[in-house]
Amino acid sequence: AYIKFDDSKVSKFVHENEVPEMQAMVNAANTELREGTGAGADFRDWLHLPSDYNKEEFARIKAAAKKIQNDSEVLVVIGIGGSYLGAKSAIDFLQGDFYNAKSKAERKGGVQVVFAGNSLSASYLHELEGFIGDKDFSVNIISKSGTTTEPSIAFRIFKEKLISKYGKEEADKRIYATTDAKCGALRTEVEAEGYESFVIPDGVGGRFSVLTPVGLLPIAATGADIDQLMKGADDASKDYVDTDLTKNDAYRYAAIRNILYRKGYVTELCENYEPNLRMFSEWWKQLMGESEGKDQKGIYPSSANFTTDLHSLGQYIQEGLRNLFETVIKVKQPPYNVEIPMDKENLDGLNYLKGQSMNEVNDKAYEGVVLAHNDGGVPVMTVEVPDESEYSLGYLIYFFEVAVGISGYLNGINPFNQPGVEAYKKNMFALLGKPGFEELAEKLNKELKK
Ligand code: PA5
């Protein structure tokens, strides 16, 4: 298997009968997912996306990425939630932590990518404007609904900056809009202003959209190979079709999560040993949390970054409330290595490590942590990818997407809706005085005065 899935460290917590006992339920979940008999069936187009995507648009994405690389030093990517996390996590995964700080030559022509519209912080926006300074820039506004407040505000601000820097005509050529094919304020604006635009397919929800133009344009703008990204996902889509739990590790992962959940392990920590995977956990948290946290149930997805957090959260994981399990995303061969030097004085007592590579030390840390946490009562699963290539990332993305589809159906919910994200938005609109929310505003303002 391309991804090595290791569940040996759940054996203390899961009886050997339990996984096979899930087989019949997994078969049923598979039917719901594959045949569209489950809830949310209209939002399963991500299943076939890696092969069944718009090839003409894919070519346009590559051309737009090239144009941005030629006429801009910075690409401002505006979006939130599913319209942000995929691109951000992929770029960190593929390009590392210091990508934006590298020279253009070191970036191999890739453009610097910064993100906006994923909070309401004025200070962040101010600092970002300072970072852009007088550099040439373009904007990729991403919003499926086209009406989300955070990105809409950021877009208005950066649009004004583009116009004052370049004039209206040139500004319009530096705006790339990724949105619904027909609906929403952003689509209306695209039609009125003639921006180059890309489509978020109807049947793909925000958290499943990284392999659509939502993720692909920003990723391609860094020079990453989006063909390989799609190829990895496509191969995974073919490798994870067998419902047999002894053969399909994505399904097995889904089954074990549900076994653990039913025993009271209600919090899952997504973990890594490489800082550039930190945002991958953020993407994963949205994928899992928005898919499964509903109907007053669901595993709570959390994360930890190792070895960093072993010096903070480590105590809790080892000895706190025993409701945690861990899923480690491990990279077998990180892109670089560093040797630990010899020091004649050895005042720090580290000479026992001389000549060893940091990757070896990191691997030993991983092994030691898994055993310690297991002894402390924490089930651990490991999902290992060979490297940090585009192909591996595509494969990994699909692994978790298909796993959460099965997992959600195993827990009897609709994995593809997100009714709960609307509640705060209505309140915020009402409190901000948006037309149409007058009644709610009156009610909320009374409550706030109490
Ligand atoms: O998954 C979701 O539905 C959300 O996280 C959305 O992606 C997020 O709210 C952004 O929505 P939109 O793309 O419509 O601006």
Sign of CA dihedral 192, 197, 199, 200: negative
Q: What residues contact 357, with CB distance under 8 A and at least 6 apart? A: 337, 338, 339, 340
Under 8 Å between Cβ of 190 and 155: no
* Residues within 6 Å of ligand 1 by CB: 80-83, 143-145, 148, 151, 205-207, 290, 418, 421
Helix H segments across 202-331?
213-221, 226-239, 249-262, 278-292, 314-319
Cα–Cα distance, 61 to 50 (Å, whole number): 15
Decide if pLDDT at 308 tops 90: yes
Q: What is the mean pLDDT of residues 317-342?
A: 98
Q: How confident is the model at residue 425, as a pLDDT?
A: 86
Give the residue, by CA position, lying nearest to ligand 1 atom 2. Answer: 206
Task: Identify the residue whose tokens are 């067998």.
Answer: 242
- What does the pLDDT look like over 53-110, one tens digit per residue? 999 999 999 999 999 999 999 999 999 999 999 999 999 999 999 999 999 999 999 9
- What does the pLDDT look like over 388-398, one tens digit per residue? 999 999 999 99
Q: What residues contact 258, with CB distance under 8 A and at least 6 apart? A: 22, 407, 410, 411
- What does the pLDDT look like over 415-440, one tens digit per residue? 999 999 888 888 999 999 999 999 99
> Is the preceding omega at residue 307 within 30 degrees of 0, hence cis?
yes
Decide if pLDDT at 446 tops 90: yes
Q: Is 88 a catalytic residue?
A: no
Pairing mode, if any, of strands 300-305 and 74-78?
unpaired
Amino acid at site 100: N
pTM for this predicted structure: 0.97
Q: What is the mean pLDDT of residues 265-286?
A: 98
Give the CA angle between residues 160, 165, 170 to the nearest 5°: 90
Q: Is 263 a catalytic residue?
A: no
Decide if pLDDT at 300 tops 80: yes
Give the residue, by CA position, lying nearest to ligand 1 atom 3. Answer: 206
Q: In this prediction, what percent of the chain has a pLDDT beyond 90?
A: 98
What is the predicted ipTM? 0.98
Task: Provide the token pair at 365.
Answer: 């840390």
Q: What is the mean pLDDT of residues 103-124?
A: 97
Give the residue, by CA position, lying nearest to ligand 1 atom 15. Answer: 143
Task: Identify the residue whose tokens are 């039609």.
Answer: 191
- What does the pLDDT look like over 238-275, one tens digit per residue? 999 999 999 999 999 999 999 999 999 999 999 999 99
Cα–Cα distance, 444 to 449 (Å, whole number): 9
What is the gyration radius of the CA atoms in the chain, in angstroms? 23
Cα–Cα distance, 219 to 85 (Å, whole number): 12
Determine how many CB atoms are found less than 10 A away from the CB of residue 285.
Answer: 18
Q: Which of the two residues, 211 and 422, has the higher pLDDT score? A: 211
Which CA distances in Å does 46 have to 56, 180, 199, 206, 217? 18, 15, 14, 10, 17
State in Å, rounded, how far the first CA of the chain is from the last one.
60
Q: How confident is the model at residue 450, as a pLDDT?
A: 59
Helix H segments across 44-142?
55-71, 85-95, 122-132
Pocket probe for ligand 1: among 145, 149, 150, 210, the residue whose CB has the most ligand atoms within 8 Å is 145
